[in-house]
Amino acid sequence: MARMTPSGRRDHEKEKEAMGMTTPVRHHRGAAMQARPVGWARNPLTEFDQLLSEMSGLIESTVGGPATAVAWTPLADVTESDDAFHVEIELPGVKSKDIDVEANGQELVVTGEIKERERKGVLRRSTRRTGAFEYRLRLPGEVDTEKISAQMSDGVLTITVPKAEVAKPRHVEISETSESTGSSG
């Protein structure tokens, strides 16, 4: 059995450490840390957005007023089918007239504003997003900007961006050719 040293460490642990056989381990006290995905599954913009939101909340709770308004990016999903790109952007409470959708080449830009509504009484806490927003997307292929369509339903803006004819995949038929028979001698 290993002896305990006055510092509470066992002799064999000290020997291992002296020979460089251990790896230091840090222990964190307090609440458990939130697990975060690693690698490509993590979106740094989402983390930055969350950090900005938390800092804004901290400023509001300390100072007592809303933090300086900055343009924010709404949540969105982008999917691709054989003939188009489909963009779904969450904009609850936003009216179509307060949204602008522009396409320039391969870039799609959605801007707008969620207006602060008038309230009676004192607003003690607000976690809803208000003010200017902007969503930018660079599409990975050629698109037909003349045929882009957008619909707003249940707080979700759905934009369909058709692919240009040159960008659409097409099946190529392989034709048979008759081989000429040569004489062998």
- Per residue of the chain (185 residues), give pLDDT as tens: 555 555 555 555 555 555 554 444 444 444 444 444 455 556 667 777 778 777 877 776 666 555 445 688 999 999 999 999 999 999 998 899 999 999 988 899 999 988 887 888 888 887 878 889 999 999 887 889 899 999 999 999 999 999 988 756 778 888 888 776 555 55
Distances (CA, A) of 7 to 13, 27, 39, 57, 185: 12, 18, 40, 44, 96
pTM of the model: 0.54
Note the pLDDT of residue 22.
Answer: 47
**Predicted pLDDT of residue 129:** 82
Query: Tokens for 184?
Result: 């062998």
| DSSP output for 90-151 | E-TT--GGGEEEEEETTEEEEEEEEPPPP-SS------S--EEEEEEEE-SS-B-GGG-EEE
Nearest one of 96, 108, 100 to 144, comparing CA atoms: 108
Q: What is the rounded distance in angstroms from the CA atom of residue 2 to the CA atom of residue 184?
A: 88
| pLDDT score recorded for residue 162 | 93
pLDDT at 76: 95
CB burial of residue 82 (10 Å; 0-12, 13-18, 19+): exposed
Token duo for residue 115: 């207006």
Question: Domain ranges in the chain?
Answer: 70-116+129-168
3-state helix, strand, coil in the chain (%, to 5): 20, 30, 50
Question: What tokens appear for 133 in the block?
Answer: 């927003």
Q: Which CATH class is domain 70-116+129-168?
A: mainly beta
